[in-house]
A and B are shown apart, each in its own frame.
Chain A
Amino acid sequence: MGKATREAFGEALVELADKFPGLVVLDSDLSKSTMTVEFAKRHPERHFEFGIAESNMIAAAAGLALMGKIPVCTSFACFLVGRLETIRVAVTLNRANVKLVGTHAGLGIGDDGASQMGLEDVAAMRSLPGMTILQPGDAAEARQAVEWMLQHQGPVYLRLTRQKLDDVHGPDYRFACGRLDVVWQPQPQPAHFQATVLASGGTVGEAVAAAKGLQPKGFAVRVVNAGTLAPFDADSLEDFVKDSERLVTVEDHNIAGGLGSAACEAATALGAGRPVVRLGVRETGESGTPAELYERHGLSAPHIMEACIRNLE
């Protein structure tokens, strides 16, 4: 098991502090959880603690950005998206260069339960013009995504996990914003796939396990990491649609408005005529271990396997 993407984020901030002198970090009483605490220790003059007042933190970040700083605002995903009105006006209408980092995404937070789970954040952020949405699938990707985010001019929402994730990228991995990248497929590459699975963040590892599990049964399944949820990579999707009988999406987020929706919108626009099976959260979440919750809410490898070969066996 590798690191949580929030851990990689915290390390990246420390590492990149000198490279980006405009970087400032804003917290709302969760710096130990969002992993900004080490940056705060090393650069106290560039860290601002706002207390439990996220709206003020986000709009203040917009003010800092309008003065040329690169503010990184952190909280749990659910508490950031709860201030959508502030994000909508202070950040996106102002075209402010604010980086919103929502940790504790989805069911994967485990036993803290429903009120702490960010399950609607991607849907809301996708509706904001100019907002780039990143969700890295492992620590290496998170590290590179943070660096990309800091050099990018414009608002970014970075969605991170509380739970540790398996590494899904090889040593040569290079992050590219707006790209769907294949993280696993049978070798040698078959000409035809029963399914291409699009996964993001906490579900990428599950998808890889599912695809590996289906290979001995004679099913060719490709796993694609959707590390950028907006803008969505429709060009790559077109390639996957050509050689796959179906698309499967799996996301630790509400079934509406997230990765599955983005994939359906893109696939429909392509006129591909391929079915898209969407796996996502349909209820409000609950306490349990991450593994128990992924199993119960249909995001675990067995559920993904079933979605890939339903009606094919």
Chain B
Amino acid sequence: MPTQLLPLTKALRADIIRMIAAAGSGHPGGSLSVIDILTVLYDKHLRHDPQRPDRPQRDRLILSKGHACPALYAVMAQRGFFPKEELMTLRKLGSRLQGHPERHRLPGIEAATGSLGQGLSIGLGMALAARLDQTGQRVYVVAGDGEMQEGQVWEALMAAAKFKLDNLTVIVDHNNGQIDGHVDEVMPIDPLAEKLKSFGWETRTIDGHDLDAIDAALSAAKAVKDKPQAIVAKTVKGKGVSFMEDNVAWHGKAPNREETEKALKEILNG
């Protein structure tokens, strides 16, 4: 049962806080909101081999909201893509763990992201290639909700439906936070699920911190034929750290020593 992953998600949340604190900069809010999604994806759904990250038959995962890469790095280290100590090199000169992920630096990263709005397009290109070669591979794109404000996302949503890419799943981390404020104030994207449905996507809305719900939605997505699938994951930005929760000030700020201790205590004792 995915709920067994709960202790793991706590440990990964702690890794996120530690690495951002060590870096002195980074994006805790969106990393903490997306970590449960990434944990279930890697543990239950994404076919991958940390020992052979370039294995051609692997599924592909693109973290389109590239600023949340501390969450991705934490999961990758836990899966064994690289030694856990390397997490503390985040954002440092010469590190493979760049401030936003880059595929040519770190094996296991499938695409450079960080310029929001591009990940779904890259994922749909990968899904087209997988279908052309009839490999049975799946492509997962994890997008932010603020990112849905980018026009290119809607170009990709149209195209994936046109091409009937049933091997493509997008999970939107709907935490309602972005740099300048709440998404529904900065530029509303809701009703997001209805929009995605109207664009031809098989769409589900779930609690993005309910590990069983995430698992069930990903399983259901795999069964869909002839349509791409969207999962709108309702999440809390900064989830797991009381003073960061739903506080957009923590979109892109590192905790100081005192805040780090407080955050770690809450996560590990919570």
What residues of chain A have their CB less than 8 Å away from a CB belonging to chain B?
24, 45-46, 48, 50-51, 53, 55-56, 58-69, 71, 85-86, 88-90, 93-95
Contacts and interface: CB of A to CB of B under 8 A. Distances in A.
B155 interface: yes
B211 to A, nearest CB: 29
11 contacts: A50-B155, A53-B152, A55-B152, A65-B125, A68-B56, A68-B129, A69-B132, A88-B115, A89-B118, A90-B115, A90-B122
Given A51-B159, A86-B118, A94-B112, A60 B125 contact: yes
A63 B128 contact: yes
A60 B152 contact: no
A66 B115 contact: no
Given A56-B159, A69-B132, A89-B118, A63 B152 contact: no
B104 to A, nearest CB: 6
Contacts of B128: 48, 60, 63-64
Contact of A89 (B115, B132, B155): B115
B111 interface: yes
Interface in B70-123: 102-104, 110-115, 117-118, 121-123
B159 A60 contact: yes
B2 to A, nearest CB: 29
Nearest to A24: B132
Given A51-B158, A59-B152, A63-B123, 18 more contacts: A45-B132, A50-B159, A53-B159, A55-B117, A56-B121, A56-B155, A56-B159, A58-B121, A60-B125, A60-B156, A63-B121, A63-B127, A67-B133, A68-B56, A68-B129, A69-B132, A86-B115, A93-B112
Contacts of B155: 50-51, 53, 55-56
Interface centre among A58, A67, A88, A93 (most CB of B within 10 A): A67
Contacts of A63: 111, 121-129
B112 A89 contact: yes
Interface of B: 56, 60, 102-104, 110-115, 117-118, 121-130, 132-133, 151-152, 155-156, 158-159, 163
Contacts of B158: 51, 53
A60 B112 contact: no
Contacts of B56: 68
A85 B115 CA distance: 8
Given A69-B129, A93-B102, A62 B122 contact: yes
Nearest to A85: B115
A236 to B, nearest CB: 31
Nearest to B125: A63
A66 B56 CA distance: 10
Contacts of B129: 63-64, 67-69
Nearest to B121: A59
A89 B104 CA distance: 12
Contacts of A46: 132
A59 B104 contact: no
Contacts of A66: 103, 110-111, 122, 125-126
A124 B92 CA distance: 29
Nearest to B133: A67
A17 to B, nearest CB: 14
B203 to A, nearest CB: 20
Nearest to B152: A55
A90 B126 contact: no
Contacts of A55: 117-118, 121, 151-152, 155
A55 B117 CA distance: 10
A65 B110 CA distance: 12
Given A51-B158, A66-B122, A94 B115 contact: no
Given A63-B124, A64-B128, A67-B125, A90 B118 contact: yes
Contacts of B122: 59-60, 62-63, 66, 90, 94
A86 B151 CA distance: 12
Contacts of A86: 115, 118, 121, 152
A71 B122 CA distance: 12
A90 B120 CA distance: 11
A245 to B, nearest CB: 46
A86 B115 CA distance: 8
A56 B152 contact: yes
Contacts of B60: 67
Interface centre among B121, B124, B130, B133 (most CB of A within 10 A): B121
Nearest to A55: B152
A61 B133 CA distance: 16
